[in-house]
Structure 1
């Protein structure tokens, strides 16, 4: 198989219905306070992982957790997965600080994410 290897799953976003309650649970689980605590997103960094809480699934209307595979070239990876049968759900876009994210579905409809840091 050719193409670029990922850097692993380092980011998982969870849709939540009550941000305050979820924040307390995840802080207890992870043993750390949030590094980002906004009304639209709460983020934690623990053991090299980025765990995000998105109220109501956010603009993406997430209905289940989405894992984000970190990649060196998001456009190249999207081209590789679509050539293999995936369907782009959300095109690559900047979410701040030069970080690019995109989502796609596998042939069974599972939502997967890719993330490229600046």
Structure 2
């Protein structure tokens, strides 16, 4: 049995200068970020979360990563690895009960999974 996905609702972008990036994304979206910290800037727009991650964060991101929201991250990670995906970053709690993981598809594309409690 396969578990479902709730779609892509989070996209994280690594940025080299968070202040400059925040200005560009504020201009693009037409409003200031809802989360504005030195370590992370986040915008909520039309049911999506757009995040700016200075220096790629602790995971060293070098490209944007889309996060598929799922009700059961462990089950979905097991399904995608059984189907040929490779775990890049195992499930971890990033605070507030939010769980994330990343995996690569057979071509090396990085995809994220996110589960909110």
TM-score exceeds 0.5: yes
Q: How does 1:97-112 map to 2 (within 5 A)?
A: 97-112=96-111
**How big is the alpha-carbon RMSD for the aligned residues of Structure 1 and Structure 2?**
0.7
8 Å CA contact 1:10–1:49 kept in 2: the answer is yes
8 Å CA contact 1:85–1:107 kept in 2: the answer is yes
Q: How does 1:46-85 map to 2 (within 5 A)?
A: 46-85=45-84
User: How many angstroms apart in 1 are the aligned matches of 2:31 and 2:87?
Assistant: 34
- Structure 2: stretches of 5+ with no match in the other structure: none
User: How many angstroms apart in 2 are the aligned matches of 1:82 and 1:16?
Assistant: 29
- The Cα of 1:5 is off from its aligned counterpart by 1.6
8 Å CA contact 1:32–1:46 kept in 2: the answer is no
8 Å CA contact 1:42–1:52 kept in 2: the answer is yes
Please report the TM-score for the alignment, with normalisation by the length of structure 1.
0.97
Q: Give the count of matched residue pairs.
A: 117
8 Å CA contact 1:71–1:115 kept in 2: the answer is yes
Structure 1 stretches of 4+ with a deviation exceeding 6 A read none
Q: Is residue 41 of structure 2 the alignment partner of residue 42 of structure 1?
A: yes
Q: Match of 2:10?
A: 11
